[in-house]
């Protein structure tokens, strides 16, 4: 029997993490939950986020049979990982922040890394803390226009390229002012993988761009296979891990169910851009207050 992997996000941006997981686990069953009724998590208190995330984790594990959980939400990864582990103690749980920091550690020689993220993630300084634990110095930059530009569908648009150029110039200048010599850039938001070509075009050569969705999928292979009592998870490293590889073009062999707590229309309309395949019908679920 295929294993069931639960993927949780406050919205549908985490579908980029689901996409990366499908490449690594093409024979798994996936259950994705977007808590769209209660987003954004970024402006809410730690207590509230922990409560929402624990409810969501219990739904994926107890009602949908998830045997593994990936928290594809930067805010919940930063603030609620403990609460989720408490809520579903029998299930291995992985967030997106620690794998991103670990990948930056692998990529960086100078020890100075840059992070692009939403305002809420930057204010939590979760990436800076995770990078510090790996002996890295991190400079974080909030890029509040990038999520709406992706959601507008302007992922290959001159306006978006110009916005990225402006953000990059500000970040580069700030890093120089702090005497940093960065050689890695972490995409610390689940929407940003859709902007990877434009971002790679804007940053100077010699800076390695790290997609934390891909990093999380790689970490999932290690954690889940290590924790599984049976050799059920096939490790299938895609030929082109950052662009979807074969998985996006091959016939769908992966079973995916998507749930949302509200806003199913936007999820269905935009989701396929993130997943790089049709999301199909998104089922509405009520988690209560």
- 165 phi, psi to nearest 5 deg: -60, -45
Residue 44 binds to a copy of itself (criterion: CB under 8 A): yes
User: Is the backbone of residue 185 left (phi > 0), alpha (psi -120 to 50) or beta?
Assistant: beta
CB of 174 to a copy of itself, least distance (A): 16
Which one of 4, 16, 36, 212 is in contact with a copy of itself (CB under 8 A)?
36
CB of 263 to a copy of itself, least distance (A): 5
Taking CB under 8 A as the binding criterion, the range among 156-164, 179-187, 201-209, 235-243 that sits at the site for a copy of itself is 156-164
Interface of this chain with a copy of itself, residues 160 to 189, rule: CB under 8 A: 162-163, 166
Residue 268 binds to a copy of itself (criterion: CB under 8 A): no
Query: And the tokens for 41?
Result: 């998590």
CB of 39 to a copy of itself, least distance (A): 8
Residue 284 binds to a copy of itself (criterion: CB under 8 A): no
Q: Map residues 128-147 to x or -, x wherever contact with a copy of itself holds by CB under 8 A.
A: ----------------xx-x
> Which residues of this protein are in contact with a copy of itself, per CB under 8 A?
36-37, 39, 43-45, 144-145, 147-149, 151-152, 159, 162-163, 166, 262-263, 266, 289
């Amino acid at each position: 029997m295929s294993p069931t992997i639960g993927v949780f996000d406050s919205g549908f941006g985490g579908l980029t993490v689901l996409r990366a997981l499908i490449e690594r686990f093409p024979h798994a069953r996936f259950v994705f939950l977007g808590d769209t009724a209660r987003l954004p998590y970024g402006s809410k208190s730690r207590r509230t986020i922990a409560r929402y995330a624990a409810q969501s984790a219990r739904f994926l594990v107890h009602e949908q049979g998830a045997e593994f959980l990936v928290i594809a939400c930067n805010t919940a990864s930063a603030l609620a990982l403990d609460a989720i582990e408490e809520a579903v103690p029998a299930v291995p749980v992985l967030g997106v922040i620690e794998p991103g920091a670990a990948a930056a550690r692998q990529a960086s020689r100078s020890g100075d890394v840059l992070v692009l993220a939403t305002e809420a993630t930057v204010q939590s300084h979760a990436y800076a803390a995770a990078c510090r634990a790996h002996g890295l110095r991190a400079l974080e930059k909030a890029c509040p226009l990038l999520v709406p530009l992706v959601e507008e569908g302007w992922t290959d648009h001159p306006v978006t390229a110009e916005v990225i150029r402006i953000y990059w110039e500000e970040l580069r200048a700030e890093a120089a002012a702090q005497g940093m010599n960065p050689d890695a850039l972490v995409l610390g938001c689940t929407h940003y993988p859709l902007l990877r070509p434009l971002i790679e075009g804007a940053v100077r050569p010699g800076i390695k761009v790290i997609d934390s969705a891909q990093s999380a999928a790689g970490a999932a292979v290690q954690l889940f296979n290590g924790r599984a009592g049976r050799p059920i998870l096939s490790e299938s490293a895609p030929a082109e891990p950052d662009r979807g590889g074969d998985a996006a073009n091959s016939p769908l062999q992966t079973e995916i169910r998507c749930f949302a707590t509200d806003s199913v229309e936007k999820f269905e309309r935009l989701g396929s851009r993130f997943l790089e395949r049709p999301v199909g019908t998104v089922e509405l679920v009520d988690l209560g207050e």
